[in-house]
Chain A
Protein backbone atom coordinates (compact mmCIF):
# COMPACT_ATOMS: atom_id res chain seq x y z
CA UNK A 1 0.00 0.00 0.00
CA UNK A 2 2.87 2.38 0.63
CA UNK A 3 4.21 2.46 -2.90
CA UNK A 4 5.08 6.06 -3.72
CA UNK A 5 2.69 7.74 -6.09
CA UNK A 6 5.28 9.67 -7.98
CA UNK A 7 3.43 9.98 -11.20
CA UNK A 8 4.15 13.11 -13.14
CA UNK A 9 0.46 13.42 -13.76
CA UNK A 10 0.06 14.32 -10.09
CA UNK A 11 3.10 16.53 -9.75
CA UNK A 12 2.15 18.36 -12.93
CA UNK A 13 -1.26 19.15 -11.60
CA UNK A 14 0.36 20.83 -8.61
CA UNK A 15 -0.87 18.45 -5.99
CA UNK A 16 1.80 17.35 -3.57
CA UNK A 17 1.53 14.16 -1.68
CA UNK A 18 1.24 15.83 1.70
CA UNK A 19 -1.94 17.58 0.68
CA UNK A 20 -3.58 14.41 -0.41
CA UNK A 21 -6.32 13.40 1.93
CA UNK A 22 -6.85 9.91 0.72
CA UNK A 23 -3.90 8.58 -1.21
CA UNK A 24 -5.69 5.38 -1.99
CA UNK A 25 -8.34 7.08 -4.10
CA UNK A 26 -5.73 8.91 -6.13
CA UNK A 27 -3.76 5.77 -6.59
CA UNK A 28 -6.83 4.09 -8.01
CA UNK A 29 -7.51 7.04 -10.25
CA UNK A 30 -3.94 7.00 -11.54
CA UNK A 31 -4.15 3.29 -12.16
CA UNK A 32 -7.34 3.86 -14.08
CA UNK A 33 -5.80 6.58 -16.19
CA UNK A 34 -2.78 4.41 -16.86
CA UNK A 35 -4.96 1.55 -17.90
CA UNK A 36 -7.02 3.74 -20.17
CA UNK A 37 -3.84 5.14 -21.68
CA UNK A 38 -2.43 1.71 -22.25
CA UNK A 39 -5.56 0.29 -23.76
CA UNK A 40 -5.78 3.42 -25.87
CA UNK A 41 -2.30 2.79 -27.15
CA UNK A 42 -3.07 -0.84 -27.77
CA UNK A 43 -6.27 -0.09 -29.60
CA UNK A 44 -4.33 2.33 -31.74
CA UNK A 45 -1.58 -0.23 -32.38
CA UNK A 46 -4.17 -2.83 -33.15
CA UNK A 47 -5.88 -0.70 -35.74
CA UNK A 48 -2.52 0.23 -37.26
CA UNK A 49 -1.63 -3.46 -37.45
CA UNK A 50 -4.94 -4.36 -39.05
CA UNK A 51 -4.57 -1.53 -41.52
CA UNK A 52 -1.03 -2.64 -42.41
CA UNK A 53 -2.27 -6.15 -43.08
CA UNK A 54 -5.05 -4.88 -45.32
CA UNK A 55 -2.65 -2.64 -47.21
CA UNK A 56 -0.24 -5.52 -47.78
CA UNK A 57 -3.09 -7.74 -48.95
CA UNK A 58 -4.26 -5.02 -51.28
CA UNK A 59 -0.74 -4.48 -52.59
CA UNK A 60 -0.70 -8.00 -54.05
CA UNK A 61 -3.78 -7.19 -56.12
CA UNK A 62 -2.22 -3.89 -57.14
CA UNK A 63 1.04 -5.64 -58.07
CA UNK A 64 -0.63 -8.15 -60.37
CA UNK A 65 -2.84 -5.50 -61.94
CA UNK A 66 0.22 -3.31 -62.31
CA UNK A 67 2.10 -6.07 -64.11
CA UNK A 68 -0.79 -6.67 -66.49
CA UNK A 69 -1.41 -2.98 -67.10
CA UNK A 70 2.28 -2.28 -67.72
CA UNK A 71 2.49 -5.08 -70.27
CA UNK A 72 -0.67 -3.91 -72.04
CA UNK A 73 0.35 -0.25 -72.12
CA UNK A 74 3.84 -1.06 -73.35
CA UNK A 75 2.41 -3.29 -76.08
CA UNK A 76 0.37 -0.43 -77.54
CA UNK A 77 3.00 0.82 -80.01
CA UNK A 78 3.30 -2.62 -81.55
CA UNK A 79 -0.46 -3.24 -81.47
CA UNK A 80 -0.98 0.05 -83.27
CA UNK A 81 1.79 -0.42 -85.82
CA UNK A 82 1.39 -4.12 -86.49
CA UNK A 83 -2.20 -4.94 -85.58
CA UNK A 84 -3.48 -8.37 -84.73
CA UNK A 85 -1.83 -9.82 -87.82
CA UNK A 86 1.42 -9.65 -85.85
CA UNK A 87 0.64 -12.99 -84.29
CA UNK A 88 0.12 -14.61 -87.71
CA UNK A 89 3.08 -13.04 -89.50
CA UNK A 90 5.66 -15.58 -90.59
CA UNK A 91 8.74 -13.38 -90.95
CA UNK A 92 10.74 -11.85 -88.14
CA UNK A 93 13.27 -9.37 -89.45
CA UNK A 94 13.87 -6.41 -87.11
CA UNK A 95 16.46 -4.93 -89.49
CA UNK A 96 13.82 -4.44 -92.18
CA UNK A 97 11.11 -3.70 -89.59
CA UNK A 98 9.10 -6.82 -90.33
CA UNK A 99 7.67 -8.46 -87.25
CA UNK A 100 5.72 -11.70 -87.28
CA UNK A 101 5.44 -13.84 -84.19
CA UNK A 102 4.18 -17.09 -85.68
CA UNK A 103 7.60 -18.83 -85.67
CA UNK A 104 7.92 -18.21 -81.95
CA UNK A 105 4.35 -19.25 -81.19
CA UNK A 106 4.96 -22.46 -83.13
CA UNK A 107 8.29 -22.98 -81.39
CA UNK A 108 6.74 -22.58 -77.96
CA UNK A 109 3.78 -24.84 -78.71
CA UNK A 110 5.92 -27.54 -80.35
CA UNK A 111 8.51 -27.70 -77.58
CA UNK A 112 5.96 -27.57 -74.76
CA UNK A 113 3.61 -30.21 -76.12
CA UNK A 114 6.38 -32.56 -77.18
CA UNK A 115 7.90 -32.20 -73.73
CA UNK A 116 4.52 -32.89 -72.16
CA UNK A 117 3.98 -36.04 -74.22
CA UNK A 118 7.42 -37.34 -73.30
CA UNK A 119 7.06 -36.53 -69.61
CA UNK A 120 3.50 -37.77 -68.95
CA UNK A 121 4.29 -41.52 -68.74
CA UNK A 122 7.11 -40.82 -66.31
CA UNK A 123 5.26 -38.39 -64.07
CA UNK A 124 2.20 -40.66 -63.95
CA UNK A 125 4.41 -43.60 -63.11
CA UNK A 126 5.91 -41.65 -60.23
CA UNK A 127 2.43 -40.57 -59.08
CA UNK A 128 1.07 -44.12 -59.16
CA UNK A 129 4.19 -45.55 -57.56
CA UNK A 130 4.07 -43.09 -54.65
CA UNK A 131 0.31 -42.83 -54.39
CA UNK A 132 -0.70 -46.46 -54.73
CA UNK A 133 2.08 -49.06 -54.78
CA UNK A 134 4.53 -47.80 -52.18
CA UNK A 135 3.20 -44.78 -50.29
CA UNK A 136 5.57 -45.35 -47.35
CA UNK A 137 9.09 -46.55 -46.67
CA UNK A 138 12.58 -45.37 -47.44
CA UNK A 139 12.34 -46.21 -51.14
CA UNK A 140 9.27 -44.03 -51.53
CA UNK A 141 10.95 -41.27 -49.55
CA UNK A 142 14.02 -41.48 -51.73
CA UNK A 143 12.01 -41.27 -54.94
CA UNK A 144 9.81 -38.46 -53.65
CA UNK A 145 12.76 -36.33 -52.55
CA UNK A 146 14.74 -36.97 -55.71
CA UNK A 147 11.83 -36.04 -57.95
CA UNK A 148 11.33 -32.86 -55.95
CA UNK A 149 15.01 -32.03 -56.36
CA UNK A 150 14.53 -32.19 -60.15
CA UNK A 151 12.51 -28.99 -59.79
CA UNK A 152 15.20 -27.41 -57.63
CA UNK A 153 18.06 -27.55 -60.15
CA UNK A 154 18.43 -24.11 -61.77
CA UNK A 155 17.34 -24.00 -65.38
CA UNK A 156 20.60 -22.47 -66.56
CA UNK A 157 22.35 -25.61 -65.32
CA UNK A 158 19.93 -27.79 -67.27
CA UNK A 159 20.74 -25.67 -70.27
CA UNK A 160 24.49 -25.97 -69.82
CA UNK A 161 24.26 -29.71 -69.30
CA UNK A 162 22.05 -30.01 -72.37
CA UNK A 163 24.58 -28.02 -74.37
CA UNK A 164 27.46 -30.27 -73.33
CA UNK A 165 25.81 -33.69 -73.15
CA UNK A 166 22.44 -33.78 -74.87
CA UNK A 167 23.31 -31.84 -78.02
CA UNK A 168 26.04 -34.30 -79.12
CA UNK A 169 23.76 -37.26 -78.34
CA UNK A 170 20.91 -35.80 -80.38
CA UNK A 171 23.36 -34.96 -83.15
CA UNK A 172 24.50 -38.56 -83.47
CA UNK A 173 20.86 -39.67 -83.32
CA UNK A 174 20.11 -37.30 -86.20
CA UNK A 175 23.02 -38.69 -88.18
CA UNK A 176 21.72 -42.20 -87.73
CA UNK A 177 18.20 -41.38 -88.91
CA UNK A 178 19.43 -39.21 -91.74
CA UNK A 179 18.11 -35.71 -91.04
CA UNK A 180 20.30 -32.59 -91.08
CA UNK A 181 22.40 -33.08 -87.99
CA UNK A 182 22.74 -29.92 -85.98
CA UNK A 183 22.07 -31.22 -82.49
CA UNK A 184 20.38 -28.00 -81.44
CA UNK A 185 16.67 -27.64 -81.99
CA UNK A 186 13.11 -28.29 -80.97
CA UNK A 187 13.68 -31.94 -80.07
CA UNK A 188 16.64 -31.26 -77.79
CA UNK A 189 14.72 -28.51 -75.99
CA UNK A 190 11.74 -30.81 -75.57
CA UNK A 191 13.92 -33.47 -73.96
CA UNK A 192 15.30 -31.01 -71.44
CA UNK A 193 11.86 -29.54 -70.78
CA UNK A 194 10.41 -33.02 -70.30
CA UNK A 195 12.85 -33.70 -67.47
CA UNK A 196 12.18 -30.29 -65.93
CA UNK A 197 8.36 -30.57 -65.79
CA UNK A 198 8.12 -34.13 -64.40
CA UNK A 199 7.90 -33.05 -60.72
CA UNK A 200 4.86 -30.79 -61.15
CA UNK A 201 2.46 -33.38 -62.57
CA UNK A 202 3.98 -36.11 -60.40
CA UNK A 203 3.55 -34.44 -57.01
CA UNK A 204 0.01 -33.25 -57.73
CA UNK A 205 -0.94 -36.67 -59.11
CA UNK A 206 0.49 -38.38 -56.03
CA UNK A 207 -1.56 -36.34 -53.58
CA UNK A 208 -4.69 -36.85 -55.69
CA UNK A 209 -4.20 -40.63 -55.87
CA UNK A 210 -3.64 -40.78 -52.12
CA UNK A 211 -7.03 -39.14 -51.62
CA UNK A 212 -8.96 -41.94 -53.32
CA UNK A 213 -11.21 -43.38 -50.59
CA UNK A 214 -10.06 -46.85 -49.62
CA UNK A 215 -13.59 -48.29 -49.48
CA UNK A 216 -13.86 -47.77 -53.25
CA UNK A 217 -10.65 -49.71 -53.80
CA UNK A 218 -11.63 -52.41 -51.30
CA UNK A 219 -14.98 -52.84 -53.01
CA UNK A 220 -13.20 -53.46 -56.29
CA UNK A 221 -10.75 -55.89 -54.68
CA UNK A 222 -13.63 -57.77 -53.06
CA UNK A 223 -15.14 -58.27 -56.50
CA UNK A 224 -11.92 -59.99 -57.51
CA UNK A 225 -10.20 -57.16 -59.38
CA UNK A 226 -6.43 -57.30 -59.77
CA UNK A 227 -4.25 -54.38 -58.78
CA UNK A 228 -4.03 -53.13 -62.35
CA UNK A 229 -7.78 -53.34 -62.75
CA UNK A 230 -8.28 -51.32 -59.57
CA UNK A 231 -5.89 -48.68 -60.85
CA UNK A 232 -7.47 -48.59 -64.29
CA UNK A 233 -11.11 -48.63 -63.36
CA UNK A 234 -11.19 -47.03 -59.90
CA UNK A 235 -8.17 -44.84 -59.26
CA UNK A 236 -7.62 -43.30 -62.68
CA UNK A 237 -11.29 -42.40 -63.31
CA UNK A 238 -11.61 -41.03 -59.78
CA UNK A 239 -8.52 -38.82 -60.08
CA UNK A 240 -8.99 -37.88 -63.74
CA UNK A 241 -9.56 -34.18 -63.13
CA UNK A 242 -6.65 -33.99 -60.68
CA UNK A 243 -4.27 -35.63 -63.12
CA UNK A 244 -5.48 -33.24 -65.80
CA UNK A 245 -4.74 -30.29 -63.51
CA UNK A 246 -1.25 -31.65 -62.95
CA UNK A 247 -0.67 -31.78 -66.69
CA UNK A 248 -1.88 -28.18 -66.97
CA UNK A 249 0.55 -27.02 -64.29
CA UNK A 250 3.37 -28.80 -66.11
CA UNK A 251 2.29 -27.14 -69.34
CA UNK A 252 2.32 -23.72 -67.67
CA UNK A 253 5.90 -24.35 -66.56
CA UNK A 254 6.99 -25.57 -69.97
CA UNK A 255 5.51 -22.58 -71.82
CA UNK A 256 7.37 -20.04 -69.73
CA UNK A 257 10.69 -21.83 -69.36
CA UNK A 258 13.43 -19.64 -70.76
CA UNK A 259 17.07 -20.32 -70.08
CA UNK A 260 17.37 -24.05 -70.71
CA UNK A 261 15.47 -23.71 -73.96
CA UNK A 262 17.39 -20.65 -75.11
CA UNK A 263 20.66 -22.50 -74.76
CA UNK A 264 19.78 -25.56 -76.83
CA UNK A 265 17.10 -24.53 -79.34
CA UNK A 266 19.42 -22.85 -81.83
CA UNK A 267 17.70 -19.43 -81.83
CA UNK A 268 16.69 -19.11 -85.48
CA UNK A 269 13.66 -16.93 -86.18
CA UNK A 270 12.29 -19.30 -88.83
CA UNK A 271 9.23 -21.50 -88.94
CA UNK A 272 10.24 -24.91 -87.59
CA UNK A 273 9.83 -27.49 -90.37
CA UNK A 274 9.93 -30.59 -88.22
CA UNK A 275 10.84 -31.75 -84.73
CA UNK A 276 14.55 -31.74 -85.46
CA UNK A 277 14.85 -28.28 -86.99
CA UNK A 278 16.12 -25.33 -85.01
CA UNK A 279 13.72 -22.67 -83.85
CA UNK A 280 12.99 -20.16 -81.16
CA UNK A 281 10.34 -19.80 -78.49
CA UNK A 282 8.59 -16.69 -77.24
CA UNK A 283 10.46 -16.73 -73.96
CA UNK A 284 13.85 -17.25 -75.56
CA UNK A 285 13.40 -14.57 -78.21
CA UNK A 286 12.59 -12.11 -75.43
CA UNK A 287 15.64 -13.23 -73.46
CA UNK A 288 17.89 -12.86 -76.50
CA UNK A 289 16.66 -9.61 -77.98
CA UNK A 290 14.93 -7.38 -75.42
CA UNK A 291 18.19 -5.96 -74.10
CA UNK A 292 19.29 -4.76 -77.52
CA UNK A 293 15.92 -3.83 -79.03
CA UNK A 294 16.43 -0.12 -79.54
CA UNK A 295 13.59 0.67 -81.94
CA UNK A 296 10.29 1.45 -80.22
CA UNK A 297 8.20 -0.96 -82.29
CA UNK A 298 10.79 -3.73 -81.97
CA UNK A 299 10.88 -3.29 -78.19
CA UNK A 300 7.13 -3.17 -77.95
CA UNK A 301 6.72 -6.24 -80.18
CA UNK A 302 8.85 -8.23 -77.77
CA UNK A 303 6.86 -6.95 -74.79
CA UNK A 304 3.67 -7.98 -76.58
CA UNK A 305 5.09 -11.51 -76.72
CA UNK A 306 5.57 -11.25 -72.97
CA UNK A 307 1.95 -10.17 -72.62
CA UNK A 308 0.78 -13.20 -74.62
CA UNK A 309 2.93 -15.45 -72.45
CA UNK A 310 1.54 -13.83 -69.30
CA UNK A 311 -2.09 -14.21 -70.36
CA UNK A 312 -1.69 -17.80 -71.53
CA UNK A 313 0.00 -18.93 -68.32
CA UNK A 314 -2.58 -17.06 -66.20
CA UNK A 315 -5.45 -18.82 -67.98
CA UNK A 316 -3.77 -22.22 -67.73
CA UNK A 317 -3.01 -21.80 -64.05
CA UNK A 318 -6.52 -20.55 -63.28
CA UNK A 319 -8.10 -23.57 -64.96
CA UNK A 320 -5.70 -25.85 -63.11
CA UNK A 321 -6.50 -24.27 -59.73
CA UNK A 322 -10.26 -24.44 -60.44
CA UNK A 323 -10.02 -28.13 -61.21
CA UNK A 324 -7.96 -28.85 -58.11
CA UNK A 325 -10.32 -26.79 -55.95
CA UNK A 326 -13.37 -28.66 -57.21
CA UNK A 327 -11.63 -31.99 -56.71
CA UNK A 328 -10.57 -31.32 -53.12
CA UNK A 329 -14.01 -29.95 -52.19
CA UNK A 330 -15.72 -33.12 -53.33
Chain B
Protein backbone atom coordinates (compact mmCIF):
# COMPACT_ATOMS: atom_id res chain seq x y z
CA UNK B 1 0.00 0.00 0.00
CA UNK B 2 2.68 2.46 1.04
CA UNK B 3 4.68 1.55 -2.01
CA UNK B 4 1.75 2.22 -4.33
CA UNK B 5 1.17 5.66 -2.85
CA UNK B 6 4.85 6.45 -3.13
CA UNK B 7 4.80 5.35 -6.75
CA UNK B 8 1.84 7.60 -7.50
CA UNK B 9 3.42 10.59 -5.79
CA UNK B 10 6.66 9.91 -7.60
CA UNK B 11 4.85 9.71 -10.91
CA UNK B 12 3.12 13.00 -10.22
CA UNK B 13 6.38 14.70 -9.33
CA UNK B 14 8.04 13.19 -12.38
CA UNK B 15 5.37 14.57 -14.64
CA UNK B 16 5.68 17.99 -13.07
CA UNK B 17 9.42 18.02 -13.72
CA UNK B 18 8.84 16.88 -17.30
CA UNK B 19 6.31 19.67 -17.86
CA UNK B 20 8.65 22.30 -16.49
CA UNK B 21 11.55 21.04 -18.60
CA UNK B 22 9.51 20.87 -21.81
CA UNK B 23 7.91 24.26 -21.17
CA UNK B 24 11.25 25.95 -20.71
CA UNK B 25 12.74 24.12 -23.67
CA UNK B 26 10.45 26.32 -25.81
CA UNK B 27 12.39 29.36 -24.70
CA UNK B 28 15.70 27.98 -25.97
CA UNK B 29 15.10 28.42 -29.73
CA UNK B 30 13.88 31.98 -29.26
CA UNK B 31 16.86 32.94 -27.11
CA UNK B 32 19.19 31.19 -29.55
CA UNK B 33 17.73 33.09 -32.49
CA UNK B 34 17.83 36.42 -30.68
CA UNK B 35 21.44 36.01 -29.61
CA UNK B 36 22.57 34.67 -32.97
CA UNK B 37 20.89 37.38 -35.03
CA UNK B 38 22.01 40.20 -32.79
CA UNK B 39 25.59 38.94 -32.61
CA UNK B 40 25.78 38.40 -36.35
CA UNK B 41 23.99 41.63 -37.18
CA UNK B 42 25.23 44.24 -34.75
CA UNK B 43 28.78 44.28 -36.13
CA UNK B 44 27.49 44.96 -39.65
CA UNK B 45 25.63 48.08 -38.68
CA UNK B 46 27.54 51.30 -39.34
CA UNK B 47 26.98 54.65 -41.00
CA UNK B 48 27.34 53.31 -44.55
CA UNK B 49 24.91 50.53 -43.78
CA UNK B 50 22.21 52.98 -42.74
CA UNK B 51 22.71 55.62 -45.42
CA UNK B 52 23.81 53.81 -48.59
CA UNK B 53 21.80 51.85 -51.11
CA UNK B 54 22.58 48.58 -52.84
CA UNK B 55 26.04 48.26 -54.41
CA UNK B 56 27.07 45.58 -56.89
CA UNK B 57 28.61 42.42 -55.45
CA UNK B 58 32.24 42.94 -54.52
CA UNK B 59 31.97 46.65 -53.96
CA UNK B 60 32.04 47.45 -50.27
CA UNK B 61 29.90 50.03 -48.54
CA UNK B 62 26.46 48.87 -49.63
CA UNK B 63 23.57 49.72 -47.36
CA UNK B 64 19.90 49.30 -46.72
CA UNK B 65 18.64 52.92 -46.79
CA UNK B 66 16.31 52.16 -49.69
CA UNK B 67 14.74 49.22 -47.85
CA UNK B 68 14.32 51.20 -44.62
CA UNK B 69 12.57 54.03 -46.43
CA UNK B 70 10.48 51.55 -48.42
CA UNK B 71 9.38 49.63 -45.34
CA UNK B 72 8.37 52.81 -43.55
CA UNK B 73 6.41 54.09 -46.55
CA UNK B 74 4.66 50.79 -47.29
CA UNK B 75 3.69 50.31 -43.65
CA UNK B 76 2.58 53.94 -43.33
CA UNK B 77 0.22 53.72 -46.30
CA UNK B 78 -1.09 50.35 -45.15
CA UNK B 79 -1.86 51.86 -41.74
CA UNK B 80 -3.58 54.89 -43.26
CA UNK B 81 -5.89 52.55 -45.13
CA UNK B 82 -6.45 49.91 -42.48
CA UNK B 83 -6.78 51.86 -39.23
CA UNK B 84 -9.96 53.92 -39.94
CA UNK B 85 -11.74 51.03 -41.63
CA UNK B 86 -10.68 48.60 -38.94
CA UNK B 87 -11.82 50.80 -36.06
CA UNK B 88 -15.15 51.60 -37.75
CA UNK B 89 -15.77 47.92 -38.42
CA UNK B 90 -14.90 47.10 -34.81
CA UNK B 91 -17.43 49.72 -33.66
CA UNK B 92 -20.02 48.26 -36.01
CA UNK B 93 -19.51 44.75 -34.63
CA UNK B 94 -19.60 45.85 -30.99
CA UNK B 95 -22.72 48.00 -31.51
CA UNK B 96 -24.64 45.40 -33.50
CA UNK B 97 -24.15 42.20 -31.59
CA UNK B 98 -27.12 40.30 -32.89
CA UNK B 99 -27.89 41.49 -36.43
CA UNK B 100 -27.50 39.16 -39.36
CA UNK B 101 -25.04 41.40 -41.18
CA UNK B 102 -22.89 41.55 -38.06
CA UNK B 103 -22.85 37.74 -37.93
CA UNK B 104 -21.63 37.51 -41.53
CA UNK B 105 -19.21 40.35 -41.03
CA UNK B 106 -17.74 38.70 -37.94
CA UNK B 107 -17.44 35.41 -39.82
CA UNK B 108 -15.62 37.20 -42.64
CA UNK B 109 -13.18 38.75 -40.21
CA UNK B 110 -12.53 35.32 -38.68
CA UNK B 111 -11.87 33.89 -42.12
CA UNK B 112 -9.62 36.79 -43.04
CA UNK B 113 -7.58 36.24 -39.90
CA UNK B 114 -6.79 32.66 -40.90
CA UNK B 115 -5.96 33.31 -44.55
CA UNK B 116 -2.25 32.65 -45.21
CA UNK B 117 -0.30 35.77 -46.11
CA UNK B 118 0.79 34.30 -49.43
CA UNK B 119 -2.86 34.04 -50.53
CA UNK B 120 -3.39 37.73 -49.73
CA UNK B 121 -0.32 38.34 -51.86
CA UNK B 122 -1.83 36.41 -54.78
CA UNK B 123 -5.05 38.38 -54.56
CA UNK B 124 -3.26 41.73 -54.48
CA UNK B 125 -1.22 40.50 -57.44
CA UNK B 126 -4.35 39.66 -59.42
CA UNK B 127 -6.21 42.85 -58.48
CA UNK B 128 -3.45 45.41 -58.84
CA UNK B 129 -0.26 44.05 -60.34
CA UNK B 130 -1.75 42.29 -63.36
CA UNK B 131 -3.47 45.46 -64.64
CA UNK B 132 -1.03 48.13 -63.38
CA UNK B 133 2.33 46.44 -62.88
CA UNK B 134 4.41 46.11 -59.74
CA UNK B 135 3.90 48.96 -57.30
CA UNK B 136 4.55 49.74 -53.67
CA UNK B 137 0.94 50.73 -53.16
CA UNK B 138 -0.23 47.22 -54.08
CA UNK B 139 2.03 45.93 -51.32
CA UNK B 140 0.49 48.42 -48.92
CA UNK B 141 -2.99 47.20 -49.82
CA UNK B 142 -2.01 43.58 -49.26
CA UNK B 143 -0.59 44.47 -45.86
CA UNK B 144 -3.66 46.58 -45.03
CA UNK B 145 -5.87 43.54 -45.64
CA UNK B 146 -3.70 41.61 -43.19
CA UNK B 147 -3.94 44.38 -40.57
CA UNK B 148 -7.73 44.61 -40.66
CA UNK B 149 -8.71 41.50 -38.69
CA UNK B 150 -6.30 42.30 -35.84
CA UNK B 151 -7.54 45.89 -35.47
CA UNK B 152 -11.20 44.87 -35.81
CA UNK B 153 -10.96 42.10 -33.23
CA UNK B 154 -9.17 44.18 -30.63
CA UNK B 155 -11.53 47.15 -31.13
CA UNK B 156 -14.58 44.92 -30.87
CA UNK B 157 -13.34 43.07 -27.79
CA UNK B 158 -12.37 46.29 -26.01
CA UNK B 159 -15.63 48.12 -26.73
CA UNK B 160 -17.73 45.10 -25.81
CA UNK B 161 -16.28 45.13 -22.31
CA UNK B 162 -17.33 48.72 -21.59
CA UNK B 163 -20.39 48.81 -19.31
CA UNK B 164 -23.73 49.64 -20.98
CA UNK B 165 -24.36 52.32 -18.34
CA UNK B 166 -21.77 54.56 -20.05
CA UNK B 167 -23.72 54.44 -23.27
CA UNK B 168 -27.04 54.91 -21.50
CA UNK B 169 -25.75 57.94 -19.59
CA UNK B 170 -24.86 59.55 -22.90
CA UNK B 171 -28.25 58.80 -24.41
CA UNK B 172 -29.99 60.11 -21.30
CA UNK B 173 -28.30 63.46 -21.84
CA UNK B 174 -29.82 63.55 -25.30
CA UNK B 175 -26.61 62.90 -27.21
CA UNK B 176 -27.09 61.46 -30.66
CA UNK B 177 -25.67 58.00 -31.40
CA UNK B 178 -22.58 59.13 -33.28
CA UNK B 179 -21.56 61.50 -30.50
CA UNK B 180 -22.05 58.82 -27.86
CA UNK B 181 -19.76 56.51 -29.84
CA UNK B 182 -17.13 59.08 -30.79
CA UNK B 183 -17.04 61.09 -27.56
CA UNK B 184 -17.70 58.43 -24.92
CA UNK B 185 -17.22 54.88 -26.16
CA UNK B 186 -14.10 55.28 -28.30
CA UNK B 187 -12.19 57.49 -25.80
CA UNK B 188 -12.93 54.97 -23.05
CA UNK B 189 -11.59 52.09 -25.10
CA UNK B 190 -8.75 53.93 -26.80
CA UNK B 191 -6.02 51.98 -25.03
CA UNK B 192 -7.31 48.66 -26.30
CA UNK B 193 -7.78 50.03 -29.81
CA UNK B 194 -4.29 51.51 -29.77
CA UNK B 195 -2.66 48.30 -28.67
CA UNK B 196 -4.53 46.43 -31.41
CA UNK B 197 -3.21 48.90 -33.96
CA UNK B 198 0.35 48.52 -32.71
CA UNK B 199 0.08 44.77 -32.68
CA UNK B 200 -1.10 44.81 -36.27
CA UNK B 201 1.80 47.04 -37.31
CA UNK B 202 4.21 44.69 -35.55
CA UNK B 203 2.64 41.75 -37.37
CA UNK B 204 2.96 43.20 -40.87
CA UNK B 205 6.37 44.81 -40.38
CA UNK B 206 8.01 41.43 -40.89
CA UNK B 207 5.73 40.08 -43.60
CA UNK B 208 7.53 39.04 -46.75
CA UNK B 209 5.22 36.73 -48.64
CA UNK B 210 2.62 39.32 -49.71
CA UNK B 211 5.36 41.69 -50.89
CA UNK B 212 7.12 39.18 -53.15
CA UNK B 213 4.91 39.91 -56.14
CA UNK B 214 3.50 43.30 -55.20
CA UNK B 215 6.15 45.75 -53.96
CA UNK B 216 8.65 43.43 -55.65
CA UNK B 217 11.96 45.08 -54.71
CA UNK B 218 14.14 47.79 -56.23
CA UNK B 219 17.79 48.64 -55.89
CA UNK B 220 17.60 52.44 -55.62
CA UNK B 221 16.20 54.93 -53.15
CA UNK B 222 12.64 55.62 -54.23
CA UNK B 223 9.59 57.20 -52.68
CA UNK B 224 7.26 56.67 -55.63
CA UNK B 225 4.39 54.52 -54.43
CA UNK B 226 3.33 53.69 -57.99
CA UNK B 227 6.68 52.05 -58.72
CA UNK B 228 8.34 48.94 -57.24
CA UNK B 229 10.00 49.50 -53.89
CA UNK B 230 12.41 47.58 -51.69
CA UNK B 231 11.31 46.62 -48.19
CA UNK B 232 13.32 45.32 -45.26
CA UNK B 233 11.92 41.76 -45.09
CA UNK B 234 12.15 41.34 -48.85
CA UNK B 235 15.74 42.57 -48.83
CA UNK B 236 16.62 40.00 -46.17
CA UNK B 237 15.06 37.25 -48.27
CA UNK B 238 16.76 38.40 -51.45
CA UNK B 239 20.22 38.69 -49.89
CA UNK B 240 19.95 35.62 -47.66
CA UNK B 241 19.57 33.20 -50.56
CA UNK B 242 22.51 34.62 -52.54
CA UNK B 243 25.90 32.95 -52.21
CA UNK B 244 27.75 36.28 -51.84
CA UNK B 245 29.23 37.01 -48.44
CA UNK B 246 28.86 40.83 -48.68
CA UNK B 247 25.18 40.55 -49.36
CA UNK B 248 24.66 37.96 -46.64
CA UNK B 249 26.36 40.32 -44.20
CA UNK B 250 23.94 43.05 -45.23
CA UNK B 251 21.11 40.59 -44.66
CA UNK B 252 22.35 39.88 -41.13
CA UNK B 253 22.47 43.58 -40.36
CA UNK B 254 19.01 44.06 -41.82
CA UNK B 255 17.67 41.08 -39.84
CA UNK B 256 19.02 42.62 -36.67
CA UNK B 257 17.32 45.94 -37.43
CA UNK B 258 14.02 44.26 -38.33
CA UNK B 259 14.08 41.98 -35.29
CA UNK B 260 14.76 44.82 -32.86
CA UNK B 261 12.06 46.92 -34.51
CA UNK B 262 9.41 44.19 -34.34
CA UNK B 263 10.28 43.13 -30.80
CA UNK B 264 10.25 46.73 -29.54
CA UNK B 265 6.77 47.22 -31.02
CA UNK B 266 5.59 44.04 -29.33
CA UNK B 267 7.07 44.91 -25.96
CA UNK B 268 5.65 48.43 -26.16
CA UNK B 269 2.21 46.97 -26.84
CA UNK B 270 2.63 44.66 -23.84
CA UNK B 271 3.50 47.62 -21.62
CA UNK B 272 0.49 49.60 -22.83
CA UNK B 273 -1.88 46.71 -22.24
CA UNK B 274 -0.44 46.18 -18.78
CA UNK B 275 -0.59 49.86 -17.84
CA UNK B 276 -4.20 50.25 -18.91
CA UNK B 277 -5.19 46.74 -17.93
CA UNK B 278 -6.50 45.84 -21.36
CA UNK B 279 -7.34 42.27 -22.25
CA UNK B 280 -6.66 41.30 -25.81
Contact = CB atoms under 8 A, between A and B. Distances in A.
Contact of A154 (B11, B26, B101, B206): B206
B240 A263 contact: yes
Contact of B15 (A50, A149, A231): A231
Contacts of A71: 119, 122-123
Given A133-B20, A257-B116, A286-B118, A157 B37 contact: yes
Interface in B104-132: 104-105, 108-120, 122-123, 125-127
Contacts of A238: none
Contacts of B108: 60-61, 63-65
A153 B115 contact: no
A234 interface: no
Nearest to A145: B270
Contact of A306 (B119, B212, B259): B119
A74 B233 contact: no
Interface in B69-95: 85, 88-89, 91-93, 95
A165 B213 CA distance: 28
Interface in A32-83: 42-43, 45-46, 48-50, 52-54, 56-61, 63-67, 70-71, 74
A23 B102 CA distance: 52
A101 B106 CA distance: 33
A147 B19 CA distance: 15
A60 B23 contact: no
Contacts of B122: 71, 286, 290, 302-303, 306
Contacts of A43: 176
B27 A143 contact: yes
Interface string A289-319: 0110000000000110010011001101110
B9 interface: yes
Given A57-B93, A314-B111, A159 B240 contact: yes
Interface stretch (A7-15, A85-93, A122-130, A268-276): A122-130
B176 A45 contact: yes
A27 B11 CA distance: 88
A128 B104 CA distance: 35
A172 B82 CA distance: 46
B209 A56 contact: no
Interface stretch (A173-181, A211-219, A221-229, A239-247): A221-229
B114 A317 contact: yes
A149 B88 contact: no
Contacts of A161: 33, 36-37
B266 interface: yes
Interface string A144-175: 01111110111111111101110000000000
Given A156-B236, A256-B119, A52 B88 contact: yes
Interface of B: 8-9, 11-12, 14-16, 18-27, 29-30, 32-33, 36-37, 40, 85, 88-89, 91-93, 95-96, 101-102, 104-105, 108-120, 122-123, 125-127, 145, 148, 152, 176-179, 181, 202-203, 205-209, 212-213, 216, 233, 236-237, 240-241, 251-252, 255, 258-259, 262-263, 266, 270
12 contacts: A56-B92, A63-B145, A126-B26, A128-B19, A149-B30, A150-B30, A153-B206, A156-B208, A160-B37, A228-B12, A258-B209, A283-B209
Interface of A: 42-43, 45-46, 48-50, 52-54, 56-61, 63-67, 70-71, 74, 121-123, 125-126, 128-130, 133, 143, 145-150, 152-161, 163-165, 195, 198, 202, 226-229, 231, 252, 255-259, 263, 283, 286-287, 290-291, 302-303, 306, 309-310, 313-314, 316-318, 321
Task: Please give me the 4 A-B residue pairs with the lowest Cβ-Cβ distance, nearest first.
Answer: A154-B206, A256-B116, A125-B22, A317-B114
